[in-house]
Chains A and B, each alone.
Chain A
Amino acid sequence: MTHQEVFQKVVGVLKPYVKNEAALSNVSEATNILDDLKVNSARLVDVVLEFEDLFEIQIADADADKVDTVGDAVSLIEAKLS
């Protein structure tokens, strides 16, 4: 899976939980999931669980806690897939 494919899948998972549609339309790897996209902490749990299902990986709370941006999520998933 290419970096861009992981990025697109990550954005796809986030999309239903995003409160700030304008930020989503300009999403980049630097986009902050909580502050920019306004995904709340409870929905972030759902997002992590969906990442686990979609990419068939396991994400510990300690790893999830380090994810601030979309790029952080992409990097974490790529590390788990490698």
Chain B
Amino acid sequence: MHVGDDVVDLADPETRAGAQHPRFDERVFSRPERAWICAQLKPHAARWTLWAAKESAFKLARKLDPGAIFSPVQLCVHGPQTQTPWVSVAGRRAAVHVERIGSCVHALVSLPELDAVSPLTLATFEPGTSDNPSHAVRRFALGALGAHLGCDAGVLRIVRKGRIPQLYVGASGPVADLSLAHHGRFVSFACALSGPYGTRLIRSVGVSSEHGSLERLRDRDATHDRGAASLSACAALACP
């Protein structure tokens, strides 16, 4: 199983409405996608929900074809208003799973398609000595995966081949397909385990404890959708 994920912080200044180049939408989104964005009550959230889906799809596409080109307009998200949005990756239909927790949008795309996707979890992690988000997301993923696998995070390693991360346990070869993302206050990972660890997908979003906003983020809106929610539902949430 291969996975791609992405996270967007809607409260980050660089995602605010008007912060993009005037031709950003035209460059990134297909005509139907632009029409869908404009039709949403919160086009700002809709734009970045679609972006997260496209970025996730591209991460997956590059795992299946290392020569895949990042052309977001080609990674068209179909049916964003439905409960089963999907994107074509390497000629195959891949379901898009989006969740939103407050200002955090998380997207997940996998192949083969999953029967069910566990709800997104949100956790805090201790800030390290480095403020490098690439280091932070690795630290967060290793800690969370160590807990899931019942082993010390110290025996886990994330090795990047090209731009593609893989999870190693001890001296063994790669045991899981991994996707890492970070934006604004958030880091995230998705990990497709197989073999001796069972076939399952783990995903989580982390926020550094220095932000101290976990409780507020956990106060999920009543309209929050889980799993393969429609992108419309995610985009329509009240916050921010």
Q: Does B20 contact A (CB under 8 A)?
A: yes
Q: Does B69 contact A (CB under 8 A)?
A: yes
Q: Does A40 contact B (CB under 8 A)?
A: yes
Q: Does A81 contact B (CB under 8 A)?
A: no
Which residues of A sit under 8 angstroms from B143, Cβ to Cβ?
Answer: none
State the B residues within 8 Å of A (CB): 14-15, 20-21, 23-24, 27-28, 51, 55, 69-74, 133, 183
Q: Does A65 contact B (CB under 8 A)?
A: yes
State the A residues within 8 Å of B (CB): 38, 40-43, 45-46, 48-50, 61-62, 64-65
The number of residue pairs between A and B whose CB atoms lie closer than 8 Å in the complex comes to 38
Q: How far is the CA of A46 from the CA of B23 in the complex (A)?
A: 8
Cross-chain pairs A/B with CB under 8 angstroms, 17 sampled? A38-B133, A40-B14, A42-B51, A42-B55, A45-B24, A45-B27, A46-B21, A48-B27, A49-B23, A49-B27, A61-B71, A61-B73, A61-B74, A62-B69, A64-B70, A65-B69, A65-B71
Question: Which single residue of chain A is at the shortest CB-CB distance from B47?
Answer: A42
List the 7 closest A-B pairs by CB distance, nearest first: A61-B71, A49-B21, A46-B21, A65-B69, A65-B70, A62-B69, A49-B23
Which residues of B sit under 8 angstroms from A48, Cβ to Cβ?
Answer: 27
Decide if B72 touches A45 in the complex (CB within 8 Å). Answer: yes
A interface secondary structure, majority: helix
Which residues of A sit under 8 angstroms from B28, Cβ to Cβ?
Answer: 45
Which residues of B sit under 8 angstroms from A43, Cβ to Cβ?
Answer: 14
Which residues of A sit under 8 angstroms from B133, Cβ to Cβ?
Answer: 38
Q: How far is the CA of A43 from the CA of B55 in the complex (A)?
A: 13
Q: How far is the CA of A51 from the CA of B69 in the complex (A)?
A: 19
Q: How far is the CA of A48 from the CA of B207 in the complex (A)?
A: 30
Query: Which of the residues A40, A46, A49, A61 comes within 8 Å of B69, measured between beta carbons?
Result: A61
Q: How far is the CA of A64 from the CA of B55 in the complex (A)?
A: 15
Question: Which single residue of chain B is at the shortest CB-CB distance from A35?
Answer: B134
Task: Report B137 CB to chain A, min CB distance, Å.
Answer: 13
Give 20 new A-B contacts, CB below 8 A, not counting A42-B15, A45-B27, A49-B21.
Answer: A40-B14, A41-B55, A41-B70, A42-B20, A42-B51, A43-B14, A45-B20, A45-B24, A45-B72, A46-B20, A46-B21, A46-B24, A50-B21, A61-B70, A61-B71, A61-B72, A61-B73, A62-B69, A64-B70, A65-B69
Decide if A40 touches B183 in the complex (CB within 8 Å). Answer: yes
Which residues of B sit under 8 angstroms from A65, Cβ to Cβ?
Answer: 69-71
Question: Which single residue of chain A is at the shortest CB-CB distance from B70?
Answer: A65
Contact of A62 with B23 at beta-carbon distance under 8 Å, contacts A42-B14, A43-B14 already known? no
Q: How far is the CA of A42 from the CA of B72 in the complex (A)?
A: 10
Which residues of A sit under 8 angstroms from B69, Cβ to Cβ?
Answer: 61-62, 65
Q: How far is the CA of A64 from the CA of B73 in the complex (A)?
A: 13
Q: How far is the CA of A42 from the CA of B14 in the complex (A)?
A: 9
Task: Report B57 CB to chain A, min CB distance, Å.
Answer: 13
Q: How far is the CA of A45 from the CA of B28 in the complex (A)?
A: 8
Question: Which single residue of chain B is at the shortest CB-CB distance from A20?
Answer: B132
